[in-house]
Amino acid sequence: MFDALTGRLTGTFERLRGKGRLTEKDVDTALREVRMALLEADVHVSVARALLARIRERAVGAEVYKSLGPAQQVVKIVHEELIATLGASAEPLASASAPPLTVLMVGLQGSGKTTTAAKLARRLASAGKRPLLVAADLQRPAAVEQLQALAESIGVPVAVDMSSTAPRLTAAALKRASSDGHGAVIIDTAGRLQIDGPLMGELAEVRKAARPHEVLLVLDAMTGQEAVNVAAGFKERVAVTGLVFSKLDGDARGGAAISVREVTGIPIKFAGVGEGVEDLEVFHPERMASRILGMGDVLTLIEKAEAAFDEASARETAEKMMSSALDLEDFLEQFQKVRRMGPLGDLLGMLPGAASAFGGAEISEAHLARVEAIIRSMTPAERRNPRSIDGSRKRRIAAGSGTTSQDVNGLLRQFAEMQKMMKAFAGGRSPIPGLQLPGTARRKKR
């Protein structure tokens, strides 16, 4: 979502790096570029103006760091001020003095409330909270069915009563949660406009019945500057305590995420980064600021890897690689785990400097899908022994995967090269002529 903004800011800072020292004119020129980048990203005008004023005051002031060049100093200031704009630090969910923790989900229709409610339930369930979902969106029967389907996929119960009203259903669900020992209750409400008086009045009644510890407003990150007005309206009527941005993985300009926190003062608590029930992340302002500035987000990447790979299987795979025993069966298993971490383009965006290193090129998910299809079209015996794949087998695999024999040949050739490289490393030899691996000279002397 922030690719265009990242590209503009990176280009601006690259031009500054050629300067031996920065004059006030250099700073003003750079900040004009930053201003254009922020406005193009749909950042609210007042937020862009305030952010730039703070940056300029510091950039042309007396803040000098001997260890930093002029351009690095400006980047440091922009980074720190962007973090302050996004909210300084991650805001955890409120805690309940006595269970259950009650969370009320509110927002416009189509903002992603129902899916986000299920994502949050999955997150709380993995933390041992035993959540109960409440289908209080009685305006739209399809919403109840959607919540039930999502709840079934994650093994979480749902309180439903189509003959009741949202406030009465909420009160009954809380009693059930207390008697059944649920640690959390998540209430999915009907979507409504913040200017719709009667519907906002009903929501106030639901809030009164729920007495929630958290009121989370789900905002579609693709709505642009209107998100500021939506957040302000809901805050006034139902005392919103936190924001959740859905569709933060989309291709819109993303300025809403930068604007809303500063304008309303409501902290951003979570971000939806995909359609799956596992695609909900805690919002870390410092990590998001680093990603926007092209500085990567290694901590989130590590967390994703820890969730996808268990230590024992990772160690076993490493041992197989170093002993050249890794086959296509193992490769497919690791490949699937990496893909579960998210789109490869997004993962590369978490690596510092990846955007400039790849020159803005997109990583093709279609190519990754072809690789998986080719391996899946092989028999288990062929995956374990790729050398057994002759011409007729290649034609069969290509037909089964919807690819060509050349595609199959290419994959087998790349895999053979990888095995050769691993074998060279395992033997202490360099796979690159002229490059000596650490420690090899000492072994030869002995």
> pLDDT tens-digit profile of 365-411?
677 788 889 999 999 999 989 889 999 999 999 999 999 999 999 88
Is the four-CA dihedral 399, 400, 403, 408 of positive or negative sign?
A: negative
Q: What is the 3-state secondary structure (H, E, C) of the chain?
A: CCHHHHHHHHHHHHHHCCCCCCCHHHHHHHHHHHHHHHHHCCCCHHHHHHHHHHHHHHHCCCCCCCCCCHHHHHHHHHHHHHHHHHCCCCCCCCCCCCCCEEEEEEECCCCCHHHHHHHHHHHHHHCCCCEEEEEECCCCHHHHHHHHHHHHHHCCCEECCCCCCHHHHHHHHHHHHHHHCCCEEEEEECCCCCCCHHHHHHHHHHHHHHCCCEEEEEEEHHHCCHHHHHHHHHHHHHCCCEEEEECCCCCCCCHHHHHHHHHHCCCEEEEECCCCCCCEEECCHHHHHHHHCCCCCHHHHHHHHHHHCCHHHHHHHHHHHHCCCCCHHHHHHHHHHHHHCCCHHHHHHCCCCHHHHCCCCCCCHHHHHHHHHHHHCCCHHHHHCHHHCCHHHHHHHHHHHCCCHHHHHHHHHHHHHHHHHHHHHHCCCCCCCCCCCCCHHHHHHC
Q: Percent of the chain beyond pLDDT 90?
A: 30
pLDDT of residue 299: 54
Domains in the chain, CATH or no CATH each: 3-86 (1.20.120.140), 101-293 (3.40.50.300), 303-426 (1.10.260.30)
pLDDT of residue 274: 81
Residue 169 in this model has a pLDDT that exceeds 50: yes
Q: How many Cβ atoms are within 10 Å of 211's Cβ, its own excluded?
A: 11
pLDDT of residue 306: 57
pLDDT of residue 17: 67
Question: Among candidates 239, 233, 283, which has minimal Cα distance to 116?
Answer: 283
Lowest mean pLDDT among 175-179, 192-196, 216-220, 377-381: 192-196
Residue range 259-263: mean pLDDT, rounded: 86
pLDDT of residue 404: 93
- Per-residue confidence at 436, pLDDT binned at 50, 70, 90? very low
- Per-residue confidence at 275, pLDDT binned at 50, 70, 90? confident
Q: Using alpha carbons only, how large is the chain's radius of gyration in Å?
A: 26
Determine the distance from the C-alpha atom of residue 83 to the mean position of all C-alpha atoms in its chain, rounded to a whole number: 17
Q: pLDDT by residue (tens digit) across 323-366?
A: 556 788 877 777 777 666 666 556 655 555 444 444 444 455 67
- Per-residue confidence at 28, pLDDT binned at 50, 70, 90? confident
Q: How many Cβ atoms are within 10 Å of 433's Cβ, its own excluded?
A: 5
Q: pLDDT by residue (tens digit) across 222-253?
A: 777 788 888 888 998 888 999 999 887 765 55
Question: Among candidates 346, 348, 314, which has minimal Cα distance to 333?
Answer: 314
Q: Which residues of 341-370 are buried (b: 16+ CB within 10 A; e: fewer)?
A: bbbbebbbbbeeeebeeeeeeeeeeeeeeb
pLDDT of residue 446: 43
CA 215 – CA 200 distance, rounded (Å): 14
Question: Among candidates 248, 208, 29, which has minimal Cα distance to 119?
Answer: 248
Residue 101 in this model has a pLDDT that exceeds 50: yes
- Per-residue confidence at 286, pLDDT binned at 50, 70, 90? confident
pLDDT of residue 181: 93
- Per-residue confidence at 423, pLDDT binned at 50, 70, 90? low
Looking at the whole model, is its pTM more than 0.85? no
pLDDT of residue 224: 73
- CB 248, CB 273: distance < 8 Å: yes
Higher pLDDT, 300 or 110: 110
pLDDT of residue 370: 86
Question: Among candidates 334, 335, 326, 324, which has minimal Cα distance to 421?
Answer: 324
Backbone φ and ψ of 391, nearest 5°? -60, -45
Residue 62 in this model has a pLDDT that exceeds 60: no
Most confidently predicted of 64-73, 130-139, 247-256, 416-425: 130-139
Most confidently predicted of 56-65, 188-197, 317-326, 388-397: 388-397
Q: pLDDT by residue (tens digit) across 6-27?
A: 776 777 777 766 666 667 777 7
Residue 150 in this model has a pLDDT that exceeds 80: yes
Residue 178 in this model has a pLDDT that exceeds 70: yes
